[in-house]
Chain A
Amino acid sequence: MKVRTLAVALLAGGLAQLPADGLADGKQLAEANCASCHALARPDYEALGHTERLSRKGPPLYFAGNKFQANWLEEWLQKPQRIRPAGVFPPEVVKTSDAGDVVDPAKLEDHPALSADDARQVTEYLMGLRPFDDVLTATTYEAGTIAARMGQLNFSKFNGCDSCHQDSATSGGLSGPELYTAWQRLQPKFIASFIADPVTWDPNTLMPKGNLNESAVERLSNYLKLIGEEQP
């Protein structure tokens, strides 16, 4: 009986001591609301292999603090808008037709919206997830400028990014995230680092790890800056 009483007392004490600050609340909120679709800790990619990609429902968030712009994230969580026109895993979202594979809107799921308070707390927690600080530190990219025509050529003809990504609401492929708001969403060094070596960030990314040199990465990153800053 004494043991049981002690256990109850410890449990009650433990619950009473749950941290009440935003970070702890944000963690709880994220674990309760986000973790069923998003990885909040690094998946065991080595054990899971590429099949991890088949069951992924949302992009991994365990490096959110190295990836997102905090202000954008907090706003987006309150008013989420689709970033991936063909969902997180396009083969599961398309249907075959005479015109080829097309997105089946019925298979696209909307992201739930959070209250302003929850969005603030979740953002605060997610922005603390920074396992790739060293990768960003090693990234030398500094935002610069590029002429629109040259940037567009780099995005399309020279590197074929437009096969999978939109650089405007009306142009570009659908399987990757749209990139005309990438500059608003993402940290500049993340953009450059991901373009150069997406596999370091996500071993099962659908983005090919090319052999782009530093200048090519800079040109593409600067193009995303150019088109991103044109967005409202």
Chain B
Amino acid sequence: MRPLKTLKIAAGLCTPLLLLTAALPASSEEGKTLYKIYCAQCHGVEGFGNGVNVPAMSVQPRNHHDRSEMGARTDEELFKAIKHGGKSINKSVLMPAWGGNLNDDEINALILYLRELCCNNGG
């Protein structure tokens, strides 16, 4: 097969993959940025549940490196807690509802990052 033809076939095969990648709604990298903006103030810049607000809080924020606690939560529960607040899963009212600030794709990106924190980094 001539090199040019090979290249064309390869490009043809790759195009759908590229489109698929572009259409992916959420990434853990985006989630990491959103975590820094919205979550770090209570959950800590490194996610250990020890943010700058903690001394004033009556309930300790979740340590997102806690594999057993985080493993006990499904993605659906995490989504609900972020979107509708802790109260929606019978947890603390101190976890606010972020559904008015973040769209569903952004919440899913956060969940990807939470899974990375708890379970992919030796958490």
Q: Is the CB of A208 within 8 A of B41?
A: no
Residues of A within 8 A of B20 (CB): none
Q: Is the CB of B53 within 8 A of A208?
A: no
State which residues 76-95 of B face A: CB under 8 Å. 85, 92-94
Main secondary structure of the interface of B (DSSP, over half): loop
Interface stretch among A10-18, A68-76, A98-106, A123-131?
A98-106
A228 within 8 A of B: no
Residues of B within 8 A of A50 (CB): 33-34, 37, 106
- Complex A-B, nearest 8 residue pairs according to Cβ-Cβ distance, in ascending order: A209-B100, A100-B50, A173-B53, A208-B96, A175-B41, A173-B56, A160-B94, A101-B52
A51 within 8 A of B: yes
CA distance A209 to B96 in the complex (A): 9
Residues of A within 8 A of B50 (CB): 99-101
B73 to chain A, nearest CB (A): 20
B120 to chain A, nearest CB (A): 21
Interface size on B, residues (CB 8 A): 32
B45 within 8 A of A: yes
Q: Is the CB of A90 within 8 A of B52?
A: yes
Contact string, A156-196, partner B, CB cutoff 8 A, digits 1/0? Answer: 11111011101000011111000000000000000000000
Choice from B48, B52, B58, B93 contacting A103 with Cβ under 8 Å = B52
Given the interface pairs A86-B52, A173-B53, the reply to whether A53 lies near B45 with Cβ below 8 Å is: no
Choice from A90, A96, A156, A160 contacting B96 with Cβ under 8 Å = A160
CA distance A206 to B91 in the complex (A): 21
Q: Is the CB of B40 within 8 A of A172?
A: no
Which residue of the partner chain B has the closest CB to A159?
B93
B112 within 8 A of A: no
Q: Is the CB of A101 within 8 A of B45?
A: yes
B46 within 8 A of A: yes
Which residue of the partner chain B has the closest CB to A208?
B96
B112 to chain A, nearest CB (A): 16
Q: Is the CB of B45 within 8 A of A91?
A: yes
Contact string, A132-152, partner B, CB cutoff 8 A, digits 1/0? Answer: 000000000000000000000
Residues of B within 8 A of A96 (CB): 44-46
A210 within 8 A of B: yes
Choice from A100, A199, A208 contacting B54 with Cβ under 8 Å = A100
Which residue of the partner chain B has the closest CB to A172?
B56
State which residues 76-130 of A face B: CB under 8 Å. 86, 90-91, 94, 96, 99-103
B113 to chain A, nearest CB (A): 13
Which residue of the partner chain B has the closest CB to A197?
B100
Q: Is the CB of A175 within 8 A of B94?
A: no
CB pairs A–B below 8 angstroms (30 shown): A50-B33, A50-B106, A86-B52, A90-B40, A90-B41, A91-B45, A94-B45, A99-B50, A100-B50, A100-B54, A100-B55, A101-B40, A101-B52, A101-B54, A158-B93, A159-B93, A163-B57, A164-B42, A173-B41, A173-B53, A173-B56, A206-B37, A208-B85, A208-B97, A208-B98, A208-B100, A208-B101, A209-B100, A210-B96, A211-B97
A54 within 8 A of B: yes
State which residues 15-48 of B face A: CB under 8 Å. 33-34, 36-38, 40-42, 44-46, 48
